[in-house]
Amino acid sequence: MPTLQSHAPAQAATSEPFQNEPFLDFADAANRSEMETALQEVASRLGQEYDLVIGGRRIRTEDKIISVNPARPSQVVGVHQRANLEHVETAIQAAETAFQRWGQTSAQSRVDLLLRLVDLVRKHKFELCAWLTVEVGKNWAEADADVGETIDFLNFYAREALRLDRATTPIQFPGERNQLRYLPLGIGAVIPPWNFPLAIMAGMTAAAIVTGNTVILKPSIDAPTIAARFFALLEEAGMPDGVVNLCPGEGPDFGNAVVEHPKTRFVAFTGSKAVGLQIHERAARTQPGQIFLKRTILEMGGKDAIVVDSDADLDAAVEGVVASAFGFNGQKCSACSRAIVDASIYDIFCDRLAQRTAAIPVGDPAKNLPAGPVISQRSFDKVLDYLQIGKEEGKLLVGGKAVETPEGGYYIAPTIFADVLPESRLAQEEIFGPVLAVLRSDGFDDALRIANGTEYGLTGAVYSRSPEKLERARTEFHVGNLYLNRKCTGAMVGAHPFGGFNMSGTDSKAGGPDYLLLFTQAKSIADKVGVVSRATEEEEQRMGL
C-alpha cells in the first residue's frame, strides 16, 4: 500500500490563490500537434481490458462492459469488468477498512494527495482529452474544458478542505474553548453521469475523499475507460488502497444495492431526474442495522432557457443560444433547450439562428469537428423520437434528421423547431441532444412565466440591455445558475458554483464554498478552560483574567 508520507507536502501550492486552469488554444500549432499525437497514442491502446479494483485488489468478472466510440461504434475503446451484487459487500468492507485510517488522516495529507493528482492530470492532459474524444465524442475544446474543470475541482477542493480544517465557532463562550470540527461521514457511493465523465466523476470523488470519506465509485457504463484512467492516476498519486474502490457496473443492480446498503452513509449522484428520484427514495428507506440518516447529494437534469428580450444585442444572443444549445451536441445539463424570444424580434432572430445553425459542421470529434455524435444507440433513438414529436408540435427550421457516416456514428444534425408552445413535450422534457425549441413570448412578463414554467430550474440566461429587466431576472428567474448577457453553459469552478432548483436537484453548488460541507458532519466541542487545559494568553484577556 503506498504511504502518503512518501510524498513531499504541497502547502506552498495551496497558499497561492485559486485560479482556473487556462484553456488550451488549439489555433496554436504546437497544441494541435500534441493533441494529434495523443489521439494516435490512445488509438494504439484501444480495446485494452481494465480491472475492477476493490481495496487495491484487482478483480476480473465473467461478464464485461464493452465501451465503444460513438463516432464509430464498431471500435472498442475499453473492456471493463461488470461489478455485480456479489461485489457489493466486498467493496463496502474495503471502504470500511480504509476509512478507519483515512478518516483519521490529517487534512493536509489528504490535500497533498489531491495536489499530486493535479500534477498528474496536467501531465496527462492531452492523453485525457484524447480519451474523452474517443469514448464520449467530445471535440478538442470540449475535451479540454472537461480536463480543465477536473483540475479546477481538485485545486479548489484542496483549498476548501484546508479552510474547513481551520474553522472555528463564530463565538467563544466565556470560560470555554469552543471548537467546530468537520468530520467525514464514512462510506459513500459516488455515481457520476457519462457526459462530464472526468470532471464530475473526479469532482464528486475528490470532495468525498479530501474530507476523509471513503468511496465506492460506480462510473457510467458509457464512460468507464476515462474513470479507469483517472483511477490509475489516483493510485499513482499515492492513494491508499480502499479509499476509492473502482466498480463499473449497472445502475439498476449494482448501483441500487450500494445505495441501499446499511453502511452507505451518503450518495453523491449526478445524472437524470428519473434515476436521481429513485436514489432519493431508496436512500430514504432505513435498512435493518442502519444507524444514521443517509445523505443524498443529487444533481439532475434541466430544461434550460435563454430569454431573448426585444432590446437584446441580437448577434450576441444568436451566438449565445447556438453555443449553449449545440455545444457538445446539447448533451450538457446546462444546455439551452428553449429559446424564448420576444415577438417583436422573433422572425429576424429565427432567421439568423437557423442560418448560423445550418452552418455547423457535423462529423468526427477526433478531427475536431464542432458537432459530433450523441453518446449511444439508446440516446440516438431517443433523440430521433423527439425529432418526430417536434415535427408534430413545432415548425422545423433546420436539421431534423440523422447524419449518416461510413463509420455508422450516432450523428444527428443540429435541429431547431420554432413556434413551440410552452406546455408541449418539446418544451417540457429533457431531450439531451442537439434539439432546440424556440418559443414566442409576448413581453418580458410572459418570457419569465414561460422560462419558469417547467419542473426544472438548473441554468438560464437573459439577453437584454434593460437594467430593470435584468434586475427582475435576478429575483424572478428561478434557476440555480443565472447568466446575464452570456451563454448558459460553461460554469467555471469558483466563479459559478453549480447546482439547480426544483427537479434539477439538491442545489449542491459544486465548485462553491458550501460544497464540501455536504460530505461532512460538524462536531461542536466545548472545553471548560482551567480544568485540564489552561487558558491561553488571548483567552485570559478575553475572559478578563
Q: Examine residue 255 and tell whether it contacts ligand NAD (CB under 6 A).
A: yes
Q: Examine residue 380 and tell whether it contacts ligand NAD (CB under 6 A).
A: no
* Backbone angle region of 306, left / alpha / beta, with phi > 0 → left and psi within -120 to 50 → alpha: beta
Asked if 87 and 237 count as a contact pair (C-beta separation under 8 A), the reply is: no
Closest Cα partner for 242 from 41, 53, 13?
A: 53
Q: Which range in 36-44, 90-98, 188-196, 438-446 contacts ligand NAD by CB under 6 A? A: 188-196
Looking at the Cβ atoms of 193 and 394, the one nearer to ligand NAD is: 193
Looking at the Cβ atoms of 55 and 500, the one nearer to ligand NAD is: 500
What is the nearest approach in angstroms of ligand NAD to the Cβ of residue 504?
6
| Helix axes 199-210 and 224-236, enclosed angle (nearest 10) | 40
The residue assigned the cell 414566442 is 440
Looking at the Cβ atoms of 209 and 275, the one nearer to ligand NAD is: 275
CA distance 105 to 100: 9
Q: Examine residue 191 and tell whether it contacts ligand NAD (CB under 6 A).
A: yes
What is the nearest approach in angstroms of ligand NAD to the Cβ of residue 381?
14
What is the nearest approach in angstroms of ligand NAD to the Cβ of residue 516?
17
Total binding residues toward ligand NAD, as defined by CB under 6 A: 33
What is the nearest approach in angstroms of ligand NAD to the Cβ of residue 260?
9
Looking at the Cβ atoms of 90 and 278, the one nearer to ligand NAD is: 278
* 129, 247, 333, 336: the active-site residue: 333
Burial of 261 (0-12, 13-18, 19+ CB in 10 A): buried
Q: Which of 69, 211, 270, 502 binds ligand NAD (CB under 6 A)?
A: 270
Q: Examine residue 216 and tell whether it contacts ligand NAD (CB under 6 A).
A: no
Q: Which range in 30-38, 170-178, 254-262, 383-391 contacts ligand NAD by CB under 6 A? A: 254-262
Closest Cα partner for 321 from 480, 194, 472, 434?
A: 434
Looking at the Cβ atoms of 186 and 193, the one nearer to ligand NAD is: 193
Grid cell locating 61: 468478472
CA distance 37 to 377: 29
Q: Examine residue 302 and tell whether it contacts ligand NAD (CB under 6 A).
A: yes
Looking at the Cβ atoms of 138 and 218, the one nearer to ligand NAD is: 218
Q: Examine residue 252 and tell whether it contacts ligand NAD (CB under 6 A).
A: yes
Q: How far apart are the first and last CA of the chain?
A: 51
* 299, 393, 430, 539: the active-site residue: 299
* Residues 463 to 502 in contact with ligand NAD, rule: CB under 6 A: 498, 500
What is the nearest approach in angstroms of ligand NAD to the Cβ of residue 67?
13
Q: Which of 93, 256, 290, 344 binds ligand NAD (CB under 6 A)?
A: 256
* Residues 307 to 336 in contact with ligand NAD, rule: CB under 6 A: 333
Q: Examine residue 194 and tell whether it contacts ligand NAD (CB under 6 A).
A: yes
* 3-state percent helix, strand, coil for the chain, nearest multiple of 5: 40, 20, 35
Q: Examine residue 300 and tell whether it contacts ligand NAD (CB under 6 A).
A: yes
Q: Which of 70, 137, 193, 320 binds ligand NAD (CB under 6 A)?
A: 193
Q: What is the DSSP string of 343-371?
A: GGGHHHHHHHHHHHHHT--BS-GGGT-SB
Indicate the residue whose CB is closest to ligand NAD.
Answer: 251
* 135 carries an active-site annotation: no
CA distance 229 to 76: 16
The residue assigned the cell 449494482 is 254
Closest Cα partner for 132 from 203, 205, 70?
A: 70
What is the nearest approach in angstroms of ligand NAD to the Cβ of residue 308?
23
What is the nearest approach in angstroms of ligand NAD to the Cβ of residue 85?
13
Find the Cα–Cα–Cα–Cα dihedral 25, 28, 33, 39, rounded to 10°.
20
Looking at the Cβ atoms of 88 and 350, the one nearer to ligand NAD is: 88
* 350 carries an active-site annotation: no
Q: Which range in 81-89, 174-182, 186-194, 206-214 contacts ligand NAD by CB under 6 A? A: 186-194
* Residues 279 to 298 in contact with ligand NAD, rule: CB under 6 A: 279
User: Going by C-beta distance under 8 Å and a sequence separation of 6 or more, which residues neighbour residue 133?
Assistant: 39, 139, 140, 143, 365, 366
Residue 338 sits at φ, ψ, to 5 deg, of -135, 125
Closest Cα partner for 248 from 72, 42, 78?
A: 78
Distance set, CA 283 to CA 297, 346, 515 (Å):
11, 46, 20
CA distance 324 to 355: 16
Looking at the Cβ atoms of 299 and 364, the one nearer to ligand NAD is: 299
Q: Which of 140, 196, 349, 411 binds ligand NAD (CB under 6 A)?
A: 196
Q: Which of 299, 309, 364, 393 binds ligand NAD (CB under 6 A)?
A: 299
Closest Cα partner for 161 from 198, 212, 201?
A: 212
Looking at the Cβ atoms of 110 and 332, the one nearer to ligand NAD is: 332
439 in helix, strand or coil? strand
Find the Cα–Cα–Cα–Cα dihedral 492, 327, 30, 44, rounded to 10°.
110
CA distance 339 to 488: 11
Q: Which range in 52-60, 122-130, 251-259, 383-391 contacts ligand NAD by CB under 6 A? A: 251-259
Q: Which of 139, 195, 225, 424 binds ligand NAD (CB under 6 A)?
A: 195
The number of angstroms, rounded, from the C-alpha of 420 to the middle of its chain's C-alpha atoms is 29
| Helix axes 199-210 and 107-123, enclosed angle (nearest 10) | 160
* Residues 427 to 446 in contact with ligand NAD, rule: CB under 6 A: 430, 432
Q: Count other C-beta atoms under 10 Å from residue 66's C-beta.
A: 13
Q: Which of 77, 83, 275, 418 binds ligand NAD (CB under 6 A)?
A: 275
Binding interface with ligand NAD (CB under 6 A): 191-196, 200, 218, 220-221, 251-252, 255-256, 259, 270-272, 275, 278-279, 299-302, 333, 430, 432, 458, 498, 500, 504-505
User: Catalytic residue positions?
Assistant: 299, 333
